[in-house]
Chains A and B, each alone.
Chain A
């Protein structure tokens, strides 16, 4: 079955450390997204990519970085510059092909990041 795989499920970061969250999809989707979710809150967009080798900042990109070298993969690095990284991180993808917004997003099961 096609889907999105996020790993690891739980991740702990030490002070001053960069950590990378993995997101892989086999849905042949062009667009991929990273969201941050804080307890009891909605989703906030960190970065998104509509095509390989291209990505755009979302609403809260500071302290994060991404790459999109392959269509299937969109890893997120939480850098030491992100002072409050404790959150639930969700990766999503959709077919896109335009800005109609009529494609459903498919989500992974998230990575929970905590500070040690």
Chain B
């Protein structure tokens, strides 16, 4: 079964607002990754957070990880229209050296 599942499925905000999306997973992990996908394009890696980290920042991105709740969140601050995309979390499946991707959160930032 799938590991990571994002919530909400869709999010619409005004430019300048913050956007928060969540990811829940089922089994223990050593790290979790977030990706972004513009419409009709491939995924682009945004950030990786390890299990011994609770929070990580990269520019306007802030990722948190709560291993006790098996959840992660991605916060985009001061959103821009160019942030409009789908965002996915990915969790590793260690025995098979592969990843599970969730179904994604579709973010629409209105100018």
Contact = CB atoms under 8 A, between A and B. Distances in A.
A67 interface: no
Interface string A59-102: 00000000000000000000000000000101010001011111
Contact of A109 (B42, B45, B97): B42
Interface residues of A, number: 31
Q: Secondary structure of the B side of the interface? A: strand
B92 A41 contact: no
Nearest to A104: B45
A41 B99 CA distance: 16
B81 interface: no
A110 B43 CA distance: 9
Interface of B: 2, 29-31, 33, 35, 40-45, 48, 50, 88, 90-99, 101-104, 106
Given A101-B30, A101-B31, A104-B33, 16 more contacts: A41-B103, A42-B2, A58-B98, A88-B40, A98-B97, A100-B31, A100-B92, A101-B29, A101-B92, A101-B94, A101-B97, A101-B99, A104-B48, A107-B44, A109-B40, A112-B40
